[in-house]
Structure 1
Amino acid sequence: MNRDNEKRVTPNLDENELMNLMVDGIRKDGFKNPIETTPAEQPENKKPVIREQNRTERISPTEYEEIFFKEVKSTARHGKSAYIDPVHHKKLTRIVQVIGDDNITIYAYLYNLLEHHFREFEELIKEIYEEKHKPLF
């Protein structure tokens, strides 16, 4: 039994590299970081990804509740089923129970989240969709 433990070798893993791998995926050049280039030197097809700014500073807690914790006209039974990761479901349940004072359903909260997301990113979604949509003829 001791010999088995002696044979096992724990590799040295760089946590930052693993985090980058999870965010960016596997790169063509492996785990090594490519040579940093300035934005002017970057090729046209390799533009940096601009991520959406954190908008939490722009909204007050009261505004958040007004946007996301309002009643909706439809009910879950008239919609379609969607599976939610258990971790997300647990968070959603706690949010609805505590912030929504158990007066709103998870369905209504998700409905409001999606409505807000589609309103906020409608133009970007259309742009990406049109870019990727290829007509048959």
Structure 2
Amino acid sequence: MKRIVVFGRGKVAPTKESKPQDYKSLFMHEAETTARSGKTAYISKEHHERIIKIVQVIGKNEVSLFSYIHNVLEHHFATYKGDITDLYEKNIGQIF
């Protein structure tokens, strides 16, 4: 498995109410935070190779691996915030 660095907060991705953006403008820009302020996470070799190709070709090597992954995760969390919150709250059991 390959190691990647991911961090918590940063630029918020557009919500469903926002003007739709194309893939390149959503994900192919540098994050406002640096990778060194993040944490380490592991991904499969296959995903790492695929992400590297996406960044190299679509991002024309102008976007870091860290920024691409950060942007994808920010978009995911913005898109599924409600679902994640609901599921999280349903899984917090009451002790009594």
Report the TM-score, using the length of structure 2 for normalisation: 0.74
Q: Is the partner of 2:51 in helix, strand or coil? A: helix
* Structure showing greater Rg: 1
> Aligned ranges for residues 2-81 of structure 1 at < 5 Å?
63-81=22-40
Letter in 1 for 2:93: K
Alpha-carbon distance between aligned partners in 2 of 1:133 and 1:70, rounded to the nearest angstrom: 36
- 2:31 equivalent to 1:91: no
Moved >3 Å (runs of 4+): none
Q: Which has the higher helix share?
A: 1
Q: Which has the higher strand share?
A: 2
Where do 5+ consecutive residues of structure 2 fail to align? 1-19
Alpha-carbon distance between aligned partners in 2 of 1:75 and 1:97, rounded to the nearest angstrom: 19
Percent of aligned pairs sharing the same letter: 39
Aligned residue pair count: 77
Alpha-carbon distance between aligned partners in 2 of 1:105 and 1:135, rounded to the nearest angstrom: 43
Cα RMSD of the aligned pairs, angstroms, is 1.5
Report the TM-score, using the length of structure 1 for normalisation: 0.53
Alpha-carbon distance between aligned partners in 2 of 1:93 and 1:132, rounded to the nearest angstrom: 35
Q: Is the partner of 1:83 in helix, strand or coil? A: strand
Greater RCO between the two (CA within 8 Å, min separation 6)? 2
